[in-house]
């Protein structure tokens, strides 16, 4: 009784199908990695503002951290660190 499916699968054809699927997956992963910064809001050309030598009050403890730099990229805090340790990109 014939079902319309071949009785055997050519090994070479099967490898080509697997390699084609793997290549499509690799391209998809590459596209996601490429677009991830855009989706996450890290677009080039965003305005960068640095507040130098400020006090930071963390919401996780009752303390004040002196002499900090807060780097704002766009409308989000990008980095916080000691004044002398945080690189500020040129304008």
Q: Which domain holds residue 31?
A: 6-40
* Count of domains observed in the chain: 2
Residue 87 falls inside a structural domain: no
25-40 pLDDT per residue, tens: 777 777 677 655 555 5
Q: Do 77 and 54 belong together in one domain?
A: yes
Q: Do 35 and 10 belong together in one domain?
A: yes
pTM, rounded to two decimals:
0.49
Residue 1 falls inside a structural domain: no
Q: Do 34 and 59 belong together in one domain?
A: no
Give Cα 21 distance to the centre of its chain. Answer: 25
Question: So what's the pLDDT on residue 1?
Answer: 47
Residue 60 falls inside a structural domain: yes
Residue 90 falls inside a structural domain: no
CB atoms within 10 A of CB 84: 7
Residue 24 falls inside a structural domain: yes
């Amino acid at each position: 009784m014939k079902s319309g499916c071949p009785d055997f699968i050519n090994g070479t054809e099967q490898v080509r199908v697997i390699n084609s699927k793997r290549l499509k997956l690799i391209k998809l992963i590459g596209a996601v990695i490429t677009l991830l910064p855009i989706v996450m809001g890290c677009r080039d050309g965003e305005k960068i503002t640095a507040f130098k030598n400020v006090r930071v009050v963390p919401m996780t403890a009752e303390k004040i951290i002196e002499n900090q730099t807060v780097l704002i990229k766009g409308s989000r805090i990008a980095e916080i660190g000691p004044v002398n340790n945080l690189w500020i990109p040129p304008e």
